[in-house]
Every structure is written in structure tokens, then in C-alpha cells.
Structure 1
Amino acid sequence: MKPNSPKISIIIPVLNEEAGLGKVLEHLGQTSDQDFIAEIICVDGGSRDETIKIATKNKATVISSKKGRARQMNTGAKHATGEILYFLHADTFPPKHFDRIVLKAIGEGYQSGCFRMKFDSKNPILRFFAWLSRINHSLCRGGDQSLFIKKELFEKTQGFNEQYLIYEDTEFIRRLYHHTKFKVLPHHVITSARKYREKGWLRVQFHFGMIHVKNYLGAGPDELYRYYYKHLLT
């Protein structure tokens, strides 16, 4: 792979992520080649901790945005200079040489895709749900798996729907399945199970499952957020 390959812009929406952001940014630097990375953009939704300081220290570009992951990721995409956008959560670690893996998929003609996922937990139920991420079906997609997409396609599909305060990743990826052949890469990102540890894995998995069902039955973004707020935020 040559240094004149398309460049990747990594976009990370952040909000009070001081606990783990530094480790993720260090990991990105250790597992990728600077020749293939245009920039790392941390889009801040109003952090009140050391998030911005940590991002700047690790040479990421920091952009301010109104709160909301969909809005933050769209803002990052507008500022990105790379031909390929790579959306990553602030508690998710991509595999070694993830940049080369993504560029290889792009070279094979895929315009969008994700990695398989593993949790940083040995909980058998979480391991099972993570195993499902290898299945190339929109029902098995989620933002924790990260997302790569050609910027041209992102703009053509109008990016993330900012009406969704949750479920924005899944809603967008389902649209992508209708526009292009979506690639599930045979490598894993490692994502944090912190929400499951904080709220209880059974509770979180049940309510996320209900959100999937509600969306399948036609629930809109407001109804999904009300359910999420009632059962997982309060």
C-alpha cells in the first residue's frame, strides 16, 4: 500500500471522556500509519472535564459542537479533509493496522463497512451478542463496531439524522445497506462494557433489545429517546 493512498479522517464524538480518551488516542497512534491518516477530529459536545485538554495533548483536532452524537459526527465530517471517514466511539479500540484494513476494503470497491466487535468483558451473554456482529445484516449493526465510509457517499446519503438522540448509528447504517454493499471486516474492535457494568448487563441488553423492536415497529426518534431516558438514564 502506497503513501499516496486515500487518507482517512478519524472522527470521535466526545463529551466528558477524560477517563479513557487518552488511551484511545494513544492506541490510534500506535496501531496506524501517519501516511494514511489525514487527521483525528474530536468533536466536543460541551465537556466540563479534561477531555479537550487530553485531546489537544494527543495532537487531535478539537471542534466544538452542540451536544448530540449525530450532530457532532456530522460536524466532524464537514471539517474532515480525508476521502474516507472513520467514525469511532471514545471508548472503542480498533485492531492493529485498522487503517490498512479499511484502505484494502476501499480498494476492493467497498464504500462503507465496519469491524466485528468484542467487549472488554468475559460475560457470556455479552460475548454472545458481540459474536452476532460478524453477521452482515442491518439488525446486527451498531455504533460500537465503528464505521468507515467514503466521504462522497456520506454526503450523498446526507449523513446522520440529527433528530435521533440515540440510535443514530443504526439508523444511518440501515440506510447505507440500501445504497451500497456493506462490508463487515473480519477483525475486531474492543469496546467498553462500562454501561453494562454500571446499569447491569441484563437491564441494558433488555432495554436495547426493546429499542430495536420499537424501531422495527415504526417508532420515531422522539419515542425511542423517551424510552431510553426512562429506562436507562433515570
Structure 2
Amino acid sequence: MNRISIIIPMLNEAEHIGKLLQHLIENAKQKNRLEIIVVDGGSTDNSVEIVKTFTQTNIKIINSSKGRSKQMNAGAKAATGTILYFLHADSFPPEHFDQFILNEIQKGNYAGCFRLKFDSNHWWLRLAGWFTKFNFKACRGGDQSLFVTKALFNKIGGFDESYIIYEDNIFISQLYDCNQFTVINSPIITSSRLYKKHGVFKLQYHFWMIYLKKWFGASAIDLHKYYKKHIS
């Protein structure tokens, strides 16, 4: 029987992590087929303490070196499920998200994501979310979450830890190369906090620049330098 391991990389997510864990508990259809692994990268707020208030046996927290790729790989290594579900701490999947994923696995779709909806009514963000219903590689991103069988994850070799940013896109691109990706047409709601912080079009410009730099061969180090200078 397939079991889903939800892997949440965390760094100073006190604002969201408790809400997310409660959301997952309340919206899962088959709770006995889930485990939740929160991978902390060295939080200095009270994120870890919040996670520890959840006493369910299927929720655990582990420590890892800082960096989403490293944290997600550590979570995958600790996972006991046959399906890995990578989820950002500020993204909230739809009701019965676990059943949606199990249904796709039964159809032979061994990797995929949900379509995206931002928690904002800004017209550009609504348009950007609408495009994510299409199964095109250019429409993908980590905020949409990612499910993949553990066997396929191991076959690809996990996330490339040389990438501090863009690691989701690198891995998803490899899944497309394997013709193993589907989009579930139910929305995951994600935070627009970075857009509110930097401005919608300014941030979108920088994301496009990162995409183009990678397209033209920029290294992982160059991408991270650009991100640190303009976004973080």
C-alpha cells in the first residue's frame, strides 16, 4: 500500500508552520497513510517549538544543513513512504490533497504538482496562477508543491545540492525529461509575501532574469549571487 511522506523544509517559518500542519491534519483524507517530516535548517525564531506542540506520532522534525535542496534530500532520506510530497511552509494544498496524489499514482503518473493560486487578488498574480494549469515546464515552480515516487526520486538522484536557489526547477526539468509529470487541476494556495515585499512586477522581472540566466548557462553560484543582490 502506498504511503505519502510530506517533506517541509523550514527556516524561520513561525508565521506559517503551525497553520500549515493544522491544515494538513484537517484536510487529509487518509491520515493513516501519511507521515509529515519537517526539516529545520537552523531556525532562530520559535518555529521548532511550534512544530513540537503537535504531538501526533506521524509528525516529526529533523535537523539539516541550511539550504532547501539539502533539507529536502535529508527529508527524503528519512522518509518511510513510497511517495514523497515536497511542500513549502507557506503553501496550503487543497482538501483531500493526499487522495488526489494517490489517484495520480494509480493512473501511472509518478510525479506532478497542483495548479497554483496566490493569496492575492492582484490581476497579474491571478493570471500567473491561471497559467499553471497547463502542463508546460515553463509554468512550473516549487510553490506548486511536488509529488514523486521515492523510486523515481532516487533514480534521478534527488535535488542538486549545489543550487541554493532554482533547485525545484532543476529537478522538475529532469522529471519532464523522463516524461513523468502531471498537473492536478485543483489549486494549492500560496503566500504572495515576496511580491508584497518587493512589488509584483519588480519581483517577476527578477524571476524572469534568473530563468533567462539559467537558460544561457549561468552557474549555481551566479544565480545565487543575483538572488541575494535583488531578492533576499
The 3-state SS of whatever aligns with 1:189 is: strand
Q: CA deviation at 1:232?
A: 1.1
Matched pairs, number = 228
Letter in 1 for 2:125: L
Alignment of 1:128-139 (within 5 A): 128-139=127-138
Please list the CA deviations of residues 84-133 of structure 1 after superposition, one character each: whole Å capped at 9, or x if unmatched: 00000000000000000000000000110000000000000111111111
Match of 1:216 in 2: 215
Q: CA deviation at 1:35?
A: 2.1
Q: After TM superposition, where is structure 1 displaced by more than 2 Å over at least 4 residues in a row?
A: none
Percent of aligned pairs with the same residue? Answer: 50
Match of 1:71 in 2: 70
The 3-state SS of whatever aligns with 2:31 is: coil
Q: CA deviation at 1:20?
A: 1.0
Match of 2:160 in 1: 161
| Residue 127 (str. 1) matches residue 126 (str. 2) | yes
Distance 1:166 1:132 in 2: 22
Q: Would the aligned equivalents of 1:112 and 1:180 in 2 still touch at CA under 8 Å? A: no
Letter in 1 for 2:32: D
Deviates most, 174-183 or 159-168: 174-183
| Residue 16 (str. 1) matches residue 15 (str. 2) | no
Which residue, out of 25, 28, 31, partners 2:27?
A: 31
Match of 1:53 in 2: 49
Please list the CA deviations of residues 6-51 of structure 1 after superposition, one character each: whole Å capped at 9, or x if unmatched: 01000000000001110010000000021221x1000000001111
Q: CA deviation at 1:190?
A: 0.1
Distance 2:165 2:64 in 1: 17
Distance 1:163 1:129 in 2: 28
Structure 1 unaligned blocks of 5 or more: none
Distance 2:54 2:90 in 1: 15
Q: Would the aligned equivalents of 1:92 and 1:190 in 2 still touch at CA under 8 Å? A: yes
Structure 2 unaligned blocks of 5 or more: none
The 3-state SS of whatever aligns with 1:122 is: coil
Match of 2:200 in 1: 201
TM-score (norm 1): 0.95
Letter in 2 for 1:57: T
Alignment of 1:40-189 (within 5 A): 40-59=36-55, 60-189=59-188
Please list the CA deviations of residues 146-174 of structure 1 after superposition, one character each: whole Å capped at 9, or x if unmatched: 00000000001001000110011011000
Distance 1:127 1:222 in 2: 32
Distance 1:168 1:58 in 2: 29
The 3-state SS of whatever aligns with 1:173 is: helix
